[in-house]
Amino acid sequence: MISDQTVARIDGVSFFGTRPVDGFALVRMDGWSSPTAVRGETIERPAADGEFDMPVYRGARLITMSGWARVTALNDLADLESRFAAILADGKSGRLVVSEYGRTLHALVRVYGQSTFARRGSTRYADWSLKLRAADPWRYGKLRTFAAGVPAAHAGNAPASPVFTVVGPQPAYSISAGSRQFAVSTALPAGSTDVIDLSTGWVRRNGAVLVDGVSRAETWTIPPGPTGVIHGFSGTASRFSGAVRDTHT
């Protein structure tokens, strides 16, 4: 069951764990709080016991929200049904934001499967169910910024990928974390900005992917907890900044 303090918002529509006089009451939210299923390849050891120890990965997050809706005037139920049917109706992705237990997390989702909105006869009530799919299984929280030489930490419970921003002018530069390094070999002109996302390993210069000019492209994550990771920057420190989001399973 959902806490009465829970609020979920998506595409301009809010769902409440409390019991609203008008609007959507959220009773269940399956697949949001629990970790997603793990998938991996299975290869048996030939002529031997057991299997090879293969890596595993998180699958997509499947979310089913359900509850009931109520209006003060019966004629308003059609408008509520229309609002519900319009949620991400164009097939595009949208941000599902869930606030509960003093914490707000979000995920990028699309509608998935069959959603329903069923009126209870001629009453002012209806029952609804909304199915969503998040291709990225992680749930994200507060954005935390850091500078070179300062520990980058986050308050989630899973490894998080940092994002770096470098502002020109800046000659060829490198960003390091221990023995790992990401090096850009082309100079960054004045007025230009590089954004390096370690979740993909891509560099975007002024919004466009930098095809050439990366001489070393190691990626790493920041573990959960207060210790964090200290990053070094070979260029002018004031032209470098980093950010990481609280990342949860």
> Which of 120, 137, 154 finishes a domain?
137
Examine the fold and report which residue of 101, 116, 137 is the final residue of a domain before the chain moves on: 137
Same domain, 72 and 152: no
Residues 13, 110, single domain; the answer is yes
| Residue 156: C-alpha distances to residues 49, 138, 222, 230 (Å) | 38, 10, 10, 18
- pLDDT value at residue 1: 63
The pLDDT value given to residue 20:
79
102 and 73 in a single domain? The answer is: yes
Give bridge partners of residue 98 from the DSSP assignment.
8, 105
193 falls within a domain: yes
Give the residue ranges of DSSP H helices in the chain: 77-85
Verify that 99 and 118 share a domain, yes or no.
yes
For 121, the domain range is 7-137
b/e 26-62 (16+ beta carbons within 10 angstroms → b): bbebebbeeebeeeeeeeeeeeeeeeeeeeeeeebbb
In tens digits, what is the pLDDT along the chain, a chain of 249 residues?
Answer: 677 789 999 999 999 998 878 999 999 999 999 999 999 999 999 999 999 999 999 999 999 999 999 999 999 999 999 999 999 999 999 999 999 999 999 999 999 999 999 999 999 999 999 999 999 999 999 999 999 999 999 999 999 999 999 999 999 999 999 999 999 999 999 999 999 999 999 999 999 999 899 999 999 999 999 999 999 999 999 999 999 999 999
Listed in sequence order, the residues at least 6 apart from 131 whose beta carbon sits closer than 8 Å to its beta carbon are 62, 63, 64, 65, 111, 112, 113, 114, 115
Say if CB 131 and CB 66 are below 8 A apart. no
How far does CA 173 lie from the centroid of its chain? 29
Q: Where are the alpha helices (DSSP H) in 165-246?
A: none
Same domain, 119 and 163: no
Residue at 126 is within a domain: yes
Kindly state whether residue 43 falls inside one of the protein's structural domains.
yes
Residue 2 lies inside a defined structural domain of this protein: no
Q: Does 73 share its domain with 127? A: yes
- Please give the tally of structural domains in the chain: 2
Q: Identify whether residues 144 and 215 lie together within a single domain.
A: yes
Residue at 147 is within a domain: yes
Closest CA to 222 of 162, 170, 172, 145: 162
Q: What is the CATH classification number for the domain harbouring 244?
A: 2.60.120.860
Considering 88, 114, 137, which residue would you say is the last residue of a domain?
A: 137
Please name which of 89, 98, 92 lies closest in space to residue 31, comparing C-alpha atoms.
98
Q: Give the integer Cα–Cα distance in Å for 153 and 224.
A: 7
On whether both 28 and 124 belong to a single domain, the answer is yes
Q: Tell me if 51 is assigned to some domain.
A: yes
Residues with Cβ within 8 Å of residue 111, at least 6 apart in sequence: 87, 88, 89, 91, 130, 131, 132, 133
Is 179 found in the same domain as 96? Answer: no
